[in-house]
Structure 1
Amino acid sequence: MPTHLTRRQALVLPAGIAAGSLIGRRAFAADPIKIGLVAALSGPSAKSGEGITRGLTIAIDEINARGGVLGGRMLEIVRRDDESNPAKGQTAARELIDKEGTVILFGGIDSPVSLAIVPVVNVAHVPFMGVWAAATNITRNGANPNYVFRVSAVDVLVDRALIKYAATTFGSKTPGLMLVNNGWGESNLAGLTAAAQAAGIKLAGAEKFDDKDVDMTPQLQRLRNAGADSVILVGNAAPGAQVVKSLQRMAWAVPVVSHWGISGGRFPELAGSWAGKVHFIQTYSFFGKQNDVGKRVLAALMAKYPDIKGPGDITPPVGVANAYDAMQLTALALEKARSTDGEKLRQAFLAIDSYQGLIKTYRKPFTDENHDALTENDYVMVRYKGDQIEPIAG
């Protein structure tokens, strides 16, 4: 940026505006701080992007209402649709960093997209906050320094929970795996295999499917023939629904325990009458007794979004809850950093001591060794009742 104005430029300045005010414009307290979001805003997983947007928005409304950060600077979201496509997500991330000047990026539902963004942010020294994608190597990516943080489930921990739940709830001794054929599926194949071995459980087999597959009968039949007594599902809403419809066509009423991808789209509509049979994992439920933060967030959601009449209308709850807490933690980090500089912000995340959040009270949520704020103790099991996601009693 030029440090001097030409005589002609000085002559056209409005009365009362000093040249120095233009030179220092980027430092104005009134300048908003841009928060980037790269997520699925269209297509089969669009509900996930909408849930994340709502969680971020409610948090930002609260932060701005109490005066913003860094001496009165307001926060604003700048969104880009990745269409669940890694190449488009990577392009969107670069655009938000280079053209929009976002100080942090938030990610969406798809692990392959987040994995494509990881090297971009680590090279650019811009923090990236995952609030849904659960592939273990998103945060455990080998970079030093590592600019990637997450307030979300982590596959290696989810996989232990899924194996344990299938065994304790359904008495499963030989679960079969149905996994999406991408980086997220690979992450869970490794995690579920290790979790089963640690629990002394023998897997009946592992089958893969592509996002656009419409008939999963051959894979399921192989698992059935191999003696699977439960199916552990890892996939998003559309292919997950096809798994359930294939089970129904086979009249195979095997218990299905699922990762949370099915909550990011139109699963109950697509899966039909068997949708409610699937038990799946979340990080939060707006049902039941809420802490003070939960009461406040629920009230704010109902006031801002006319389609939300109660807890069951917050779909998907995981997108809302994870994004809300992650945004509040980001505001804390910005204040600690006293800057929007990427490296200072990275260090500030590591310096957060505690925060009373929606999902839990966070105590040292991030360390040099662990950039994941949630643990296996922060998961709840749920199921669909109609198109609402409700916790499973007991």
Structure 2
Amino acid sequence: MLKFFVKKSFKTIATAVTFGALSFSACAQETIKIGLVAALSGQSAKSGEAITRGISVAIDEINANGGVLGRPLELIRRDDESNPSKGLLAARELIQKEKVAALFGGLDTPVSLAIVPLVNSLKVPFIGAWAAGTPITRNGAKDNYVFRVSAVDELVDEALVNYAINNYQMRKPGMILINNPWGESNEIGFKKALKKRGIAYTGIERIESSDLDVVPQLTRLKNQGTDVLLMVANVAPSAQVVKSLDRMGWDVPIVSHWGPAGGRFGELAGANAHKVHFIQTYTFTDENSPKGEQVWNALKNKYPEIKTIADVTPAVGISNAYDAMHLTALAISKAGSTKGKKVRNAFYQIDNYEGLIKTYQFPFTKDEHDALGPNDYVFTQFVDNKIVPIK
């Protein structure tokens, strides 16, 4: 009798444990998973950190208000190490294994371009929060699942050329571009913007992420009479341009895409980092808008290491990701589902959202998957390792 009782008790306990495990598993599956593939290590790690912070603060706000479809959001991250092959593998894992409802991208255009065919094939919304390569959203796919809350190279190049003409009376620009698809995207944009204005460029020079000296490329541009450098590169090569100019003693204006904002540019470029004027979509200041102050306070509360504006460099990653996460949540809510096609179509139904960067009015249409336009850019520079607007 005792033996029977003990066996029955063990069976009851085992059943309870199994039921508990199943209940826990069911609870775990109740979250709506949001994936992020970005640079979380290496010289561009600050970009991945910024995107993570922007998404996380937005998710905290959304979950505090009941989540989406009555379910909390959960962020799952993977490090692409700025490598397209690794980014593609990470994206596939998040989509097929983790079953994310939407996937966010990071800093690097080549990584995002590698992911685009996958998400269009698997019909999962892919939201760009930083990479600006024009073909990311304008990818030619009949069934396009790629959206972006970020800059667009073609529009940025127009803004950079205008800035250089208005502030430096540029007449003989030279291009120094990273040797990858992002550089190629901007070469097309620069040529188009310059041709429109009847301005001829002096030359186009390529640089690699691994370059430790770019004096030869800069010397050729100098000898051709370049009066402004139009630069497109991420942190490390951009810093090498500044240091190489120092070695040459060539004081030429540098008007840059936002690559320098992606990491420790102020530290790596040295004392003349401030000479690079680069574009952003948003930057925190000492006098933020009410929305900016709300997000700023949330960042400080969530991340105690944030004490000054310098600690949120780069703000562009935070702001783009924050707005993009809220817009994605709105799409899922309007879709009433996490099914990829329904969510994709619901992006077109978003009519109004008061964001951090701006108030969005019908930000996406079937023909326009970029939420930000040419009027949504500001110019900045590094001062004391802090990104500040140029007055």
Q: TM-score, normalised by structure 2?
A: 0.93
Aligned residue in 2 for 1:387: 385
Aligned residue in 2 for 1:338: 336
The code of the aligned residue for 2:281 comes to T
Residues 47, 316 of structure 1: 8 Å contact kept: yes
Aligned residue in 1 for 2:254: 256
Structure 2 unmatched ranges of 5 or more: 1-10
Structure 1 residue 29, shift from structure 2 partner: 9.9
The code of the aligned residue for 1:244 comes to V
Aligned residue in 2 for 1:48: 47
Residues 227, 130 of structure 1: alpha-carbon distance in 2 compared, 3 angstrom cutoff: same
Q: Distance in 2 between matches of 1:254 and 1:310?
A: 31
Aligned residue in 2 for 1:64: 63
Aligned residue in 2 for 1:286: 284
Q: 1:14 aligns with which of 13, 16, 22?
A: 16
Aligned residue in 1 for 2:33: 34
Q: Distance in 2 between matches of 1:82 and 1:215?
A: 26
Q: How is 1:296-315 mapped onto 2 (pairs within 5 angstroms)?
A: 296-315=294-313
Residues 224, 77 of structure 1: alpha-carbon distance in 2 compared, 3 angstrom cutoff: same
Q: How is 1:56-135 mapped onto 2 (pairs within 5 angstroms)?
A: 56-71=55-70, 73-135=71-133
The code of the aligned residue for 1:85 comes to N
Residues 283, 380 of structure 1: 8 Å contact kept: yes
Structure 1 residue 10, shift from structure 2 partner: 12
Residue 117 of structure 1 aligns to a residue whose secondary structure is helix
CA distances 1:194-250 after superposition (whole Å, capped 9, x unpaired): 011112222111110111011111111111111100101100000110011000100
Residues 31, 385 of structure 1: alpha-carbon distance in 2 compared, 3 angstrom cutoff: same
Aligned residue in 2 for 1:6: none
Structure 1 residue 11, shift from structure 2 partner: 11
Structure 1 residue 166 and structure 2 residue 164: aligned? yes
Q: Distance in 2 between matches of 1:213 and 1:174?
A: 25
Q: After alignment, is 145-154 or 310-319 more displaced?
A: 310-319
Residue 14 of structure 1 aligns to a residue whose secondary structure is helix
Residues 312, 390 of structure 1: 8 Å contact kept: no
Q: Distance in 1 between matches of 2:113 and 2:18?
A: 50
Name the Cα RMSD after superposition: 1.9
The code of the aligned residue for 2:170 comes to S
Aligned residue in 2 for 1:274: 272
Structure 1 residue 35, shift from structure 2 partner: 0.5
Structure 1 residue 304, shift from structure 2 partner: 1.4
Q: Distance in 2 between matches of 1:232 and 1:335?
A: 42
Structure 1 residue 94, shift from structure 2 partner: 0.2
Structure 1 unmatched ranges of 5 or more: 1-8
Structure 1 residue 322 and structure 2 residue 320: aligned? yes
Q: Distance in 2 between matches of 1:143 and 1:206?
A: 30
Q: Distance in 2 between matches of 1:92 and 1:30?
A: 20
Q: Distance in 1 between matches of 2:142 and 2:73?
A: 28
Structure 1 residue 288, shift from structure 2 partner: 5.0
Residues 207, 15 of structure 1: alpha-carbon distance in 2 compared, 3 angstrom cutoff: closer
Structure 1 residue 262, shift from structure 2 partner: 1.0
Structure 1 residue 15, shift from structure 2 partner: 9.4
Identity score, percent: 59
Q: Distance in 1 between matches of 2:294 and 2:256?
A: 30
The code of the aligned residue for 1:247 comes to L
Aligned residue in 2 for 1:5: none
Residues 292, 226 of structure 1: alpha-carbon distance in 2 compared, 3 angstrom cutoff: same
Q: After alignment, is 102-111 or 280-289 more displaced?
A: 280-289
Residues 29, 70 of structure 1: 8 Å contact kept: no
Q: Distance in 1 between matches of 2:327 and 2:208?
A: 36
Aligned residue in 2 for 1:4: none
Equivalent pairs, count: 379
Q: Distance in 2 between matches of 1:50 and 1:220?
A: 32
Residues 130, 149 of structure 1: 8 Å contact kept: yes
The code of the aligned residue for 1:31 comes to E
The code of the aligned residue for 1:178 comes to I
The code of the aligned residue for 2:16 comes to P
Q: Distance in 1 between matches of 2:297 and 2:165?
A: 38
Residues 30, 74 of structure 1: 8 Å contact kept: no
Residue 34 of structure 2 aligns to a residue whose secondary structure is strand
Q: Distance in 2 between matches of 1:187 and 1:30?
A: 40
The code of the aligned residue for 2:34 comes to I
Structure 1 residue 313, shift from structure 2 partner: 2.3
Q: Distance in 2 between matches of 1:137 and 1:158?
A: 14
The code of the aligned residue for 2:79 comes to D
The code of the aligned residue for 1:76 comes to E
Q: Distance in 1 between matches of 2:18 and 2:209?
A: 60
Q: After alignment, is 368-377 or 307-316 more displaced?
A: 307-316
Structure 1 residue 114, shift from structure 2 partner: 0.1
